[in-house]
Amino acid sequence: MSLFSGITDDLKNFDWNDLTDLDTIGVWPVAVKVLITIVIFGAVLTAGFFFHIQNLQTELQTVATDETQLRVEFEQKAFLASNLEAYRAQTVEMEESFEELLLQLPSETEVPGLVDDVTETGVGSGLEFDNIALENEVTQEFYIELPIDIDVIGDYHDFGTFVSGVASLDRIVTLHDFAITTRQDSFLNMNIEARTYRYRDVNEEGGVQ
C-alpha cells in the first residue's frame, strides 16, 4: 500500500504544467514518466491499429469489386457455354443461308441469260421493250452491282405484272428509279433500272482482302 500511496502522491503533487517544458523531464517523478510512456505507447498502438484497419477496409473493398467483376464474367461465360450449341447451330444456319444467297447471284456468264429472263418476263406481262441494255458494273466492297437500263411501253397493269414477275425470278434482281411518262396514245413509257449482283471474288483486281 505504501508503494501505491507513493505513486498516487507523486501524481497528485506533480505540476502538470511542467509537461510543456521538456527540459524538466529529468526531475519528473517516475510515476509520471511511466504514465506518459503508457499514454504514448497506447496512442501509437491506437494509431497503428486505425491505419491497419483502414488498409484492410481498402483491400476488402478492392477484393469485393474484383469479386463482383469476376462474378459478372463468370455469368457471361456460363451463359455462352450453356448456349454454345445453339450458337453453333445458328452459325451453320447462317452459313447455309449465305450459300443459298450466293446461289441466287448470277455469275458473269449467267448475266446474258438473266437479261433474257427479264425480257421474257416483260413480254409475258404485255410490255413492249423499247430498250434493254447492260450498264457499267459498280464495284462495292463485297459485291458487284450489274445495272440494266430498261425502257418499256405498256399500261399500269402491265407494269405491275412485270414488277411482280421480276421479283419472282430465281436470281436476285432489284428495281430502282422508276420514271413513267405519258404517250400520245393510251399507253405509257416506263424507264427503270434493274440491278442484279454478283459476289466479288477475292482474286479479282482490287478484290476483298
pLDDT in tens, the chain (209 residues): 454 555 565 556 655 665 666 666 666 666 667 777 777 777 777 777 777 777 777 787 888 888 888 888 888 888 777 777 877 788 877 777 766 666 666 666 567 788 888 899 999 999 999 998 888 888 877 778 889 999 999 998 999 999 999 888 877 888 888 898 988 888 899 999 998 887 766 555 544 43
Report whether 119 contacts 142 (CB < 8 A).
Answer: no
pTM: 0.48
Report whether 140 contacts 190 (CB < 8 A).
Answer: no
5 grid coordinates: 500511496
d(CA 145, CA 149): 13
